[in-house]
Amino acid sequence: MRNITKISTQLGKSALGWKTKKSSLGVTKNWILGSLAARLPGDTKIWFYKKMGIKIGKHVQIMPDVRMEIFFPELIKIGDNVVVGQEAFFACHEFNVNEFRYGPIDVGNNVLIGARTFILPGVKIGNNAIIAANTTVYQDVPNNVIAFGSPLKFKKFKKK
């Protein structure tokens, strides 16, 4: 079960649900910082992501065009020794017809997140996990597994 908070909204107004928790100015600031970070080379981007409030461990590599949450970036925690593949997307929010939802994303240590992976709110990715490219992570990922496919599947492996 994902760790998410739900805010009921009027029918067709869920895209405005974040306004009950965040200011437009703060979200705009995060959008600017995140847009810059996505295009910057090397470790420079880490500084911008941290300025958004994202908690980032040591020896983290974030590839080009990664998109981080702009409404609730402070809910993202990335452990040590993590590689985030190109065009991955971390979304701590989602919209339904009459509901706005948000929740944390917690990435453990020694994790590889493949290119174009989409991580939904309220999930935890365990230590030593590998997320295959183009995977949608909509539930917790245990330690020491490869996560792949749709629907999401796990394959255990032994760390060498």
CB contact set of 58 (below 8 Å; sequence gap of 6+): 80, 81
Alpha-carbon gap, residue 102 to 21, rounded angstroms: 10
User: Which residues are catalytically annotated?
Assistant: 93
- pTM, entire model: 0.93
Average pLDDT, consecutive stretches of 10 residues, N- to C-terminus, the chain (160 residues): 87 84 93 94 90 97 95 97 97 91 97 97 97 96 94 84
Q: What's 5-156's CATH class?
A: mainly beta
| Mutual angle of helices 44-51 and 24-39, in 10-degree steps | 170
Q: What is the pLDDT of residue 125?
A: 98
Structural domain spans, the chain: 5-156
Cβ(7)–Cβ(101) under 8 Å?
Answer: yes
pLDDT, residue 143, reads: 96
